[in-house]
Amino acid sequence: MLKSDSTRREFLKTGSALSLGAVTLASLSNNAFAAGDDTIRIGLVGCGGRGSGAASEAILTQGNVKLVAVGDAFGDRLEQSLLNIENKIKSKLGDDTTAVDVDADHRFVGFDAYKQVIDSDIDMVILATPPGFRPIHFEAAVAAGKHVFMEKPVATDAPGIRKVLAAAEEAKKKNLKVGVGLQRHHSAKYKETIARLQDGAIGDIRALHVYWNGAGVWDPRKTREEVSGEMEYQMRNWYYYNWLCGDHICEQHIHNLDVGNWLKDSYPVKCQGMGGRQYRTDKKYGEIYDHFAVEYTYEDGTKMFSQCRHIPNCWNSVSEHAIGAKGFSNIGDGKYETADDKWRFSEKDPYHYQVEHDDLFHAIRNDISYNEAENGAKSTLTSIMGRMATYSGKEVSFEEALNSQIDLMPTEFSWEANPPVMPLADGSYPIPMPGITRAV
């Protein structure tokens, strides 16, 4: 019979991909946890679906974890998030929700909520706001000496990328652990397949094809009549504005582009592409495109052909494929084929949204070097340079993209301030036009 709530929680927790074993105080980092024991106290900044999921997964890692502070621009989102987290924990641990311990004084609302969460008595912070805010929040978390899990993408423009890269170096100096939500890196199937391909299973990689073609994401959630002004309107409907989202090539397709970079163990040196806005043309869809097709080139000449689309009733695929000198591979399916060999991954592939947190918290508890921020930034830049090339109709190099001075972020964060892009008289927004738009 289980003799205590804490024992019951450990017994009921979902299995990690790592066999971590019992964690003792002797195995903890020299950076003492805020609570003075083995409990890792976490804060959450950004209370949408992914933030709620990440907080739940953090709590479900092995060892004592407690959520003690949350922040969001909107109070209604914050309160709903806490309910969602509690329900997720209940579904895994029964009625024990003691790991969700956020009192009224640690529920912060507004643009500065991230500062208040970071300044709370926490050891680690989850950053899951719309990605435009990520560089600001990551920089602040590292300055405060906090371990970090941040969702992808990690920026929407080049100044943001440079800020993340600088903060990543500071995090290394401070021995801070940093995870980034590119969870395919924590999939047993992806890891084994990539390792085999890098070992030459299909010969030298000649080309890559990567896709995120689907019907699209959620429609705008609020009308103008339901909000206080333009800033709230764009914040509520953040996916459709580049300063917040980076367009779906950045916010979503980064996963597939990152797999290509992972396999090549490098980043493209240039790209060119085309795209547009053919189906989602209503003004409620803001300023983003609904389809992209980009050709990336790596330093050795390998091409990565990229497609992403938000149009229903079309051919859909979310996948990554490699063509080698001796054969081909569907990486996401965990298989390859040559004239002499066929292989398919057949082991268990634990839920990698959970495993990415298992791995990060294992590193925190055992003081293992762990920093995914540089790759997160460079794969984000891969996405951004594809957007730059498509919007402008120009070939864009990695270095040009990295050094771009175009800053998409507002100069002031308040509900009364104007966002960087404002609607025209009819409520529509300027749409990027290849050959005219300056994107670098």
Are 222 and 292 part of one and the same domain? yes
Per-residue tokens: 425: 């008289």
Tell me what pLDDT residue 20 has: 40
The pLDDT confidence band at residue 368, using thresholds 50, 70 and 90, is: very high
Secondary element (H or E) of residue 108: strand 107-109
Q: Which residue has the tokens 């002797």?
A: 26
Are 129 and 158 part of one and the same domain? yes
CATH number assigned to the domain comprising residue 268: 3.30.360.10
Give the pLDDT confidence of 117-154 residue by residue, as tens digits.
999 999 999 999 999 999 999 999 999 999 999 999 99
Tell me what pLDDT residue 243 has: 98
Give the pLDDT confidence of 206-244 residue by residue, as tens digits.
999 999 999 999 999 999 999 999 999 999 999 999 999
Tell me what pLDDT residue 36 has: 55
Are 179 and 225 part of one and the same domain? no
Tell me what pLDDT residue 5 has: 39
Tell me what pLDDT residue 378 has: 98
| CA 371 – CA 180 distance, rounded (Å) | 8
Among 184, 209, 243, which residue terminates a domain?
184
Cβ–Cβ under 8 Å, residues 398 and 270: yes
What one-letter code names the amino acid at 353? Y
Residue range 299-304: average pLDDT? 98
CATH number assigned to the domain comprising residue 178: 3.40.50.720
Q: Is residue 330 part of a domain?
A: yes
The pLDDT confidence band at residue 421, using thresholds 50, 70 and 90, is: very high
| CA 290 – CA 313 distance, rounded (Å) | 13
Are 163 and 287 part of one and the same domain? no
Are 112 and 178 part of one and the same domain? yes
Give the pLDDT confidence of 394-405 residue by residue, as tens digits.
999 999 999 999
CA dihedral 41, 47, 50, 51 (to 10 degrees): -10
Domain count for the chain: 2
Query: pTM of the entire structure?
Result: 0.92
Cβ–Cβ under 8 Å, residues 152 and 179: no
Q: Is residue 73 part of a domain?
A: yes
Residue 170 scores a pLDDT above 60: yes
CA dihedral 202, 207, 212, 215 (to 10 degrees): -110
The pLDDT confidence band at residue 203, using thresholds 50, 70 and 90, is: very high
Are 144 and 279 part of one and the same domain? no
Over pLDDT 70: what percentage of the chain?
92
Are 384 and 292 part of one and the same domain? yes
Tell me what pLDDT residue 8 has: 35
